Structure 1
Amino acid sequence: MSTPILSAHSLVKHFNAGGFGAARKVVRAVDDVSFELAPGETLGVVGESGCGKSTTARLLVQLLKPDSGSVRYEGKVVGPELPLKAFRSKVQMVFQDSFASLNPRMTMIDAVAFGPTVHGVSQSDAIRKAQDLLDRVGLDPARFGGRYAHELSGGQRQRVNIARALAFDPQVIVLDEAVSALDKSVEAQVLNLLMDLRRERGLTYVFISHDLNVVRHISDRVMVMYLGEVAEIGPAESLYGAPCHPYTEALLAAMPSLDPDQRTMEAPLAGDPPNPIDPPSGCRFHTRCARAFGPCSTQIPPSYTVGRSHVAACHLNSVKEHVA
């Protein structure tokens, strides 16, 4: 990997779950998450609901402050070495709920122009930029610029949110389930738009989704999260073709298929994820893993190298670790 444009280093985020002193309990939303992003790549992030994907996204863009660990942009620690205002002009986020993301009292042209004006761009220049961006994302500014959020469809609102993120001329965009609320035809249009913008502007994406087919289509690398930790991370084709963590295998086995010869005859994974307030010892997946053995219940698995830029935190890889 080239010098990372954005990296997470041992991020930890716990939320108070009640109690005081020794009896205080916390939800371990993110526990020691680390990864790097190369300029121009797309990292897909997948996992069950509650695994920490969205919390990780908010930590990356500094909407949440980590309990420990750091985020670095081009090698500079955000906060001590890189001011937050400068960082946010380089890293933007698009949220899942396109309606709640927009101010209902603002027209779409004002919503896109608002960010640049806060960062010192004149009102007239910001409006011109907003018009250009609305046009680029497929919305005629003459027709849609004066409308409010409730007057647009979900796909149109999400295009506005993408334009709003682009208004800062960012290098990195974090997309948290940005297309999951859209129907399939609109989803395909927004995905094509995202890929076109990536090529045109050299953008880097963190793409969070529960749709494994979409993630495979858009991502260069994929990170699989389970109960606040990174279970596996590697190149998309390598991870989908030869997963090296039982949890990844279960997720891929649950992917729907139109091929009648590949019907799922039994559930690939049983039970619910453990309580994040009191996660299991050792490997957090061992309570649901059919291949768990001795050390899984007592020893936290390290990240074993299982291929080129491909690592998996599973004890099953201890006997076959190699460097590709």
Structure 2
Amino acid sequence: MLIVRGLKKHFDIGAQSFGGERSVVRAVDGVDFTVAKGETLGIVGESGCGKSTTARLLMHLIQPDAGSLIFDGEEVNAIRGMSVSDMRRNMQMVFQDSYASLNPRLTIRESVAYGPRVTGLSRAQARARSDSLLDMVGMDPSNFANRYPHELSGGQRQRVNIARALAMAPRVLILDESVSALDKSVEAQVLNLLRKLKRELGLTYIFISHDLNVVRYISDRVLVMYLGQVVESGPVDAIYTAARHPYTRALLSSRPSMDPRKRIEIAPLTGDPPNPINPPSGCRFRTRCPQAQPLCAQEAPALASAPSDVSHVAACHFPLTYEPGLASHPVSGARQ
């Protein structure tokens, strides 16, 4: 469905000193990935790694500096191929802040009907589609259609945002931390709703979240980002049981355990991410990696597939390997 190649966005922050060179924040720095039809791609990583910026670049809410986007075989380009406006009809986005995403002066029915109305449907047709979608996401139109955003809970507002995104009959939904502000019971309801909608409407999802358990529940494949770059990608089970990149292993090890006998006593990852204005040479994770070697500083690793699974790739000179029967105990490939 989507092919992304060489996606880049550097934000200019001006010269650090009078007469000096202009500095840029390398928010997204050469991201490549694909999304198959009907799958859910989960994107994870620490805050500031470029997840949300990548989503906005896909929607062209931020203009990319470089890179190409191919949507279902057509390149998205203002001059040739699919236009950005046509792409946006097929790809919609649900944002994290459910309240800020809605116009406080419009009723729920008007918010959902706005897109279909401005693209050619009559007022009656747009209102009918709005009511149908509200009912689809579990919001009874007779009870909620004439309410305003401030009269709804966070979970209800996020259901409205999902309905509004579906109003344009898209084929792809980008969900940027769409359940992170909800309590766990409501979060579970929204996640089950998303799975139901995907199954019934044949949707494709790009699901961005910092919650690794949520990503595992809803995703088919996982993309791990660090400091503006992809460090690992693969099927969800392969990532969670046989992570090949040290950063991915550290993320997974940081998850809290419900078993008091498995408490985390040693931090799996220490220190802050490097400055994105002046990232480290070679591998960007080497300054925090416990197994970094001289080669890591000299040469940036390329994404390479695992011997047993070509769909599981990691950008590491010394990827982690696993002995049979010891999937939970990674062993550094560099020390063998």
Q: TM-score normalised by the shorter chain: which range applies?
A: over 0.9
3-state SS of the aligned residue for 1:187? helix
Alignment partners' CA distance in 2, 1:87 and 1:304: 31
Alignment partners' CA distance in 2, 1:96 and 1:318: 34
Alignment partners' CA distance in 1, 2:320 and 2:132: 53
Q: Which residue of 2 aligns with 1:16?
A: 12
2:183 aligned with 1:183, yes or no? yes
One-letter amino acid of the structure 2 residue matched with residue 15 of structure 1: F
Consecutive unaligned residues in structure 2, runs of 5 or more: 322-331
3-state SS of the aligned residue for 2:287? helix
3-state SS of the aligned residue for 1:315? coil
Alignment partners' CA distance in 1, 2:20 and 2:60: 29
The alpha-carbon deviation at position 64 of structure 1 amounts to 1.1
Q: Which residue of 2 aligns with 1:309?
A: 311
Alignment partners' CA distance in 1, 2:102 and 2:305: 43
Q: Which residue of 1 aligns with 2:37?
A: 39
Q: Which residue of 1 aligns with 2:158?
A: 158
Alignment partners' CA distance in 1, 2:265 and 2:171: 44
Q: Deviations over 1:169-218 (max 9, x none)?
A: 10000000000000000000000000000000110000000000000010
Q: Deviations over 1:26-74 (max 9, x none)?
A: 0000000010010000000000000000000001111111100011101
- Contact 1:304–1:318 (CA under 8 A) maintained in structure 2: no
Alignment partners' CA distance in 1, 2:12 and 2:150: 35
One-letter amino acid of the structure 1 residue matched with residue 259 of structure 2: D
Alignment partners' CA distance in 2, 1:21 and 1:111: 49
One-letter amino acid of the structure 2 residue matched with residue 308 of structure 1: V
One-letter amino acid of the structure 2 residue matched with residue 254 of structure 1: S
The alpha-carbon deviation at position 143 of structure 1 amounts to 1.1
**TM-score (ref. length: structure 2):** 0.92
Identity %: 61
Q: Deviations over 1:272-301 (max 9, x none)?
A: 000101100000000000000121011000
3-state SS of the aligned residue for 1:302? coil
The count of residues paired between Structure 1 and Structure 2 equals 317
Q: Which residue of 2 aligns with 1:66?
A: 64
2:286 aligned with 1:290, yes or no? no
Q: Which residue of 2 aligns with 1:265?
A: 265
Q: Deviations over 1:146-189 (max 9, x none)?
A: 11111110000000000000001100000000000000000000
Structure 1 residue ranges (4+ consecutive) displaced by more than 4 angstroms after TM superposition:
318-321
Alignment partners' CA distance in 2, 1:146 and 1:317: 55
One-letter amino acid of the structure 2 residue matched with residue 6 of structure 1: L
One-letter amino acid of the structure 2 residue matched with residue 45 of structure 1: I
2:111 aligned with 1:121, yes or no? no
Alignment partners' CA distance in 2, 1:157 and 1:101: 9
Greater mean alpha carbon deviation, residues 117-126 or residues 249-258: 117-126
Alignment partners' CA distance in 2, 1:248 and 1:196: 29
